[in-house]
Amino acid sequence: MKAIALVPGTKDVKLIDWPEPKIEGATDVKARVLQVGICGTDREEASGGRADAPKGEKELIIGHEMLAEVVEVGAQVKSLKPKDLVVIMVRRGCEECDPCKRGHPDMCKTGLYTERGIKERHGYHSEYVVDEEKYCIKVPKELRNIAVLTEPTTVVEKAIDYACRLQVARLPVDPDPKKWLEGRLVLVAGLGPIGLLAAMVLRLRGARVLGLDIVDSHSARPKLLEAMGGKYVLGKDEAIQNARKTFGQIDMVIEAAGIPRLDFELIDVLGLSGVYVLTGVPGDDRPLNIDGGKIMRQLVLRNQIIFGSVNAGFEHFKQAVVDLEAAEAKWKGVVEKFITARIPYQKFDEVLFKKAPEEIKAVIKWHD
Ligand SMILES: [Zn+2]
Ligand SMILES: [Zn+2]
């Protein structure tokens, strides 16, 4: 079968012939890959950045945001059958630390976890894949066009859930974290796929959403945000400086821009007792002048929390599927427009090495 592989640390990315994986264990599931999304992580890997081949091997098959159709299942598989749609999780635990032993490799404490398509485990850019049932999330057939967005949605599910859990743990409010967002004002910084998916989840939970970006207000991202009931804020310096005055108490900031200067500026717009989640991974290591004393003073005097969030566990994958389904029911056809390019795998280099200005999410097609 065909697969897209790279030699980690180089820009050597190729379509290769690779042995088709087989069902080996009774709990294995074999699936035909339909689509695999491309994100900043894949592009970083393809430009010689962070990626590790499996131990003892030279190449890594890339790809981690996938959707596939089951073709065969092992004798003990109960929840899946041929023709079911599945999304397979990315991270596998180290089995040494407590979070991994308890099924939460997304919170691994040793850093010895592996990740399909990223770290020491082959990914999903191939015609077929095999994995264990416990890493497969069944997806309703109606979501065939958008379920490739499940993995990026899990990232925002975890970030938002943990932010809400922190808030209900410390504020005198209803203890249900899903209710904490009702009527609250949230600023989402950066309207790429993560920012738009965050806006989607936040709107489903009843939050009022401000989406900050620097694109023209008539372009696709602001329009998609508005279609879900969010409000676009053009990210000029004055808009950020005046945000507290213009919009009032901002209860949560979801950062999905990965721009350090902006990320620090946004600390200032966060309201009293607010929570700020960072999800962007900056590629920019240039030094930055910040007023550390002012930021520390503010965090203390305004009772604020800032934390980072990456990856996601099984329940956030489940929740992502539930929310994609709810979003499709509520704003029919809107989420599908987050996918701005669907490219056959033979032409992967058209989207892996470059990003079109109008791109929100590019997807590689392996099978129809
Ligand atoms: Zn990704
Ligand atoms: Zn671990």
In a domain, 326, yes or no: no
In a domain, 122, yes or no: yes
User: What total of structural domains would you count in the chain?
Assistant: 2
Please name the residue ranges forming H helices in 32-134. 40-46, 98-101
Task: Calculate ∠ Cα 214-270-158, nearest 5°.
Answer: 80
Residue 237 maps to which CATH number? 3.40.50.720
In a domain, 322, yes or no: no
Does the pLDDT of residue 170 top 90, yes or no?
Answer: yes
Find tokens 């979801």 and name the residue.
254
pLDDT tens, residue by residue, 212-245: 999 999 999 999 999 999 999 998 878 888 888 8
In a domain, 96, yes or no: yes
The answer to whether residues 25 and 65 belong to one domain is yes
> Which ligand has its closest atom nearest to the C-alpha of 194?
1
The answer to whether residues 304 and 352 belong to one domain is no
In a domain, 184, yes or no: yes
The answer to whether residues 157 and 286 belong to one domain is yes
The answer to whether residues 220 and 96 belong to one domain is no
Residue 44 Cα to ligand 1 midpoint, Å, equals 11
| Whole-angstrom distance, CA of residue 174 vs CA of residue 171 | 9
The answer to whether residues 291 and 208 belong to one domain is yes
Residue 65 maps to which CATH number? 3.90.180.10
pLDDT tens, residue by residue, 281-322: 988 788 999 999 999 999 999 999 999 999 999 999 999 999
For 286, the domain range is 153-308
Contact, 311 vs 90, CB < 8 A?
yes
Residue 154 Cα to ligand 1 midpoint, Å, equals 10
What pLDDT score does 76 carry? 98
First to last CA, the chain: 16
Residue 292 Cα to ligand 1 midpoint, Å, equals 32
Rounded to an integer, the average pLDDT of 345-350 is: 96
| Confidence class for position 60, pLDDT limits 50, 70, 90 | very high
> Which ligand has its closest atom nearest to the C-alpha of 97?
2
The answer to whether residues 200 and 287 belong to one domain is yes
289, 308, 327 — which closes off a domain?
Answer: 308
The answer to whether residues 131 and 178 belong to one domain is no
